[in-house]
Amino acid sequence: MVDGFLVINKPAGISSHDVVNQVRRILCTKKVGHTGTLDPFATGVLPIAVGEGTKAIQFLDEGIKRYEAVIRMGLSTDTLDITGTVLQELNTAEISREKLLNVMAALTGEIEQLPPMFSAIKHAGQPLYKLARKGIEVERQLRKVNIQGFELLEFENPFATVRVTCSRGTYIRTLADDLGLKLGCGACLTELRRTMSGSFLLENAITIEQLAAYAEEGDILKQLFTIAAAVSHLKEILLENKELERLKNGIPPLERLAEMPTGIFRLMHQGKLISVAEKSPESGVILKRVFNN
């Protein structure tokens, strides 16, 4: 059994769930899940949890993400990207590099976004994109997001290639749409690639084809992030042998944790992640997850 995380370089044209299904077939296991959904037309970093790694998804630190995108100014669509139906097309001759940079600066920092209808957010138990496909639009709540960086990499009117560093939950399609609204000409995405999701980077990513080749050669482990490495941002407690035995019976190291502040901890033994525990004023110490090693 393979346990840990893979970083897949998702190709365009398939969903994140399609990638999960392909990984399941290649590794011959059902215990596969993904974090941070990418739109079908988007490419790049898609972290995939395998085996015991699926238990650790909730503890990952993916608060910061980075994208590179191509924005087509002067074109508005119902999906806010090039795959949708064109709603309006306007001239962009008056859009200068300076004007573009000024608007990008105005969209940097903490801003509010309205989640797009074509998204996986649920309304009354149904994903918004299913309602959108039926021509139904529902009221959504504005969300605060943090755009830490909004850089212009290339500008050739009406196209702008940008790099966005942002908080989790940011919609780059919405950012492109907001840019177009402020410019007065509309805009949509034509390309989107995620280059970073927390500690998972594009330079560490492999394609589905490469994964299949590594699996055939029996070389998967070299491409795998261990569960301990994936949650290395958590405070660490090294278990003694007697504490390990107690933990196997569901007893956390209460004396050790009593000395620690509140928070979430990874409990380690001989380089392996044994459990994730949480200490809080409300519930005391609880074992959130115990991993099979």
Residue range 204-234, pLDDT digits in tens: 999 999 999 999 998 888 889 999 999 999 9
Confidence band of 166 (pLDDT split at 50, 70, 90): very high
CA–CA separation, 67 and 192 (whole Å): 7
Q: Which CATH class is domain 64-197?
A: alpha beta
41 contacts: CB under 8 Å, gap ≥ 6: 12, 13, 81, 82, 83, 192
Closest CA to 173 of 239, 129, 220, 217: 129
Q: What angle do CA 157, 189, 115 make, to 5 degrees?
A: 135
Residue 153 predicted with pLDDT over 70:
yes
| Confidence category of residue 165, pLDDT binned at 50, 70, 90 | very high
Given a cut of 90, whether residue 65 has pLDDT beyond it is yes
| 74-83, 129-138, 192-201, 262-271: least confidently modelled range | 129-138
Residue 272: φ, ψ to 5°: -110, 145
pLDDT at 174 over 70: yes
pLDDT reported for residue 257: 85
Helices 208-217 and 16-27: angle between axes, nearest 10 degrees: 10
Q: How far apart are CA 184 and CA 169, in angstroms?
A: 25
Residues sharing a CB contact under 8 Å with residue 135, sequence separation 6 or more, in sequence order: none
Do 64-197 and 4-61+200-229 have the same topology in CATH?
A: yes
Q: What three-state secondary structure class fits 41?
A: coil
Q: Counting beta carbons within 10 angstroms of the beta carbon of residue 190, is it exposed (0 to 12), middle (13 to 18) or buried (19 or more)?
A: middle
Among 82-96, 171-185, 252-266, the minimum mean pLDDT is found in: 252-266
Mean of pLDDT over the chain: 92
- In this model, does residue 127 exceed pLDDT 80? no
> Above pLDDT 70, what percent of the chain?
96
Give me the pLDDT at residue 144, please. 95
Element (H, E) at 17: helix 16-27
**Helix, strand, coil tally for the chain in percent (to 5):** 30, 40, 35
Domain boundaries of the chain, sorted by first residue: 4-61+200-229, 64-197, 234-290
Evaluate whether 220 touches 103 at the Cβ level (below 8 Å).
Answer: no
More confident residue, 8 or 37: 8
Q: What is the mean pLDDT of residues 245-253?
A: 88
Catalytic residue, chosen from 39, 81, 177, 178, is: 39
- State the alpha helices, DSSP H only, in 53-160: 97-106, 128-133
pLDDT at position 281 is: 87
pLDDT band at 123 (very low <50, low <70, confident <90, very high): low
CATH number for the domain whose boundaries are 234-290:
2.30.130.10
Closest CA to 192 of 175, 178, 209, 168: 175
Beta bridge partners of 49: 5, 33
Partners of 156 in the β-ladder: 159
CB distance 265 to 271 below 8 Å: no
Count of beta carbons in the 10 Å neighbourhood of residue 20: 18
Over residues 166-190, the mean pLDDT reads: 96
Q: Is 39 designated active site?
A: yes
Tokens of 260: 């620690």
Between the two ends of the chain, the Cα-to-Cα distance in Å is 10
CATH superfamily of 4-61+200-229: Pseudouridine synthase (3.30.2350.10)
Residue 233's pLDDT is 93
Rg (CA), the chain: 22
